[in-house]
Amino acid sequence: MKPESSHAEPVSYSISDLSREFGITTRTIRFYEDKGLLAPERRGQTRIYSPEDRVRLKLILRGKRLGFSLDESREIIEMYDPAHGNVEQLQRLLQGIAEKRAQLQQQLRDIQSLMSELDEAEERARAALARNISP
């Protein structure tokens, strides 16, 4: 089910391979295909996932960790492949990249502020603990 030479990268994956590796259900993987985020090959009925499919899945899950919708993750993934023929499409692509970057910078700022607030909360909690333990 997972043809590999000795210790290198597998050539293909079954759906349960990927579900195990990433801790998601096969239903979820098929759902992503349904939404146009994956398009694995088929051997008869059975889905065969390539290393590229696996990378796409990783990108989707990373997007989820950042709070992206599946539509957003699909857009981001589509930014990678150079299927943007004409000038107008390329400029819209650049526009989309700029917007995503701005969004990510906002997230960075949000994380920074939350981080320092967590620091303060931890400070207070440790102080309260010290007071409660050794009065």
Partner DNA sequence: GCTTACGTTTACGTTAACGTAAGCCTTTGC
Partner DNA sequence: GCAAAGGCTTACGTTAACGTAAACGTAAGC
Distance of CA 117 to the CA centre of its chain: 26
- Asked whether position 102 contacts a copy of itself by CB under 8 A, the answer is no
- Asked whether position 86 contacts a copy of itself by CB under 8 A, the answer is yes
Coil, strand or helix at 58: helix
Coil, strand or helix at 85: coil
- Asked whether position 55 contacts a copy of itself by CB under 8 A, the answer is no
Burial call 34-45: b when 16+ CB within 10 Å, e when fewer: eeebbebeeeee
Among the residue ranges 3-11, 21-29, 43-51, 82-90, the one whose residues contact a copy of itself (CB under 8 A): 82-90
State the nearest-atom distance from the C-beta of 124 to DNA, in Å.
27
- Nearest alpha carbon to residue 28 among 14, 18, 40, 13: 18
Binding site for DNA (CB under 7 A): 1, 14-17, 24-28, 30-31, 35, 44-47, 64, 69-71
Exposed, middle or buried, 75 (CB in 10 Å: 0-12/13-18/19+)? middle
The count of chain residues that interact with a copy of itself, using the rule CB under 8 A, is: 40
- Interface residues with a copy of itself (CB under 8 A) are 62, 64-68, 76, 79-80, 82, 84, 86-87, 90-91, 93-94, 97, 100-101, 104, 106-108, 110-111, 113-115, 117-118, 121-122, 124-126, 128-129, 132-133
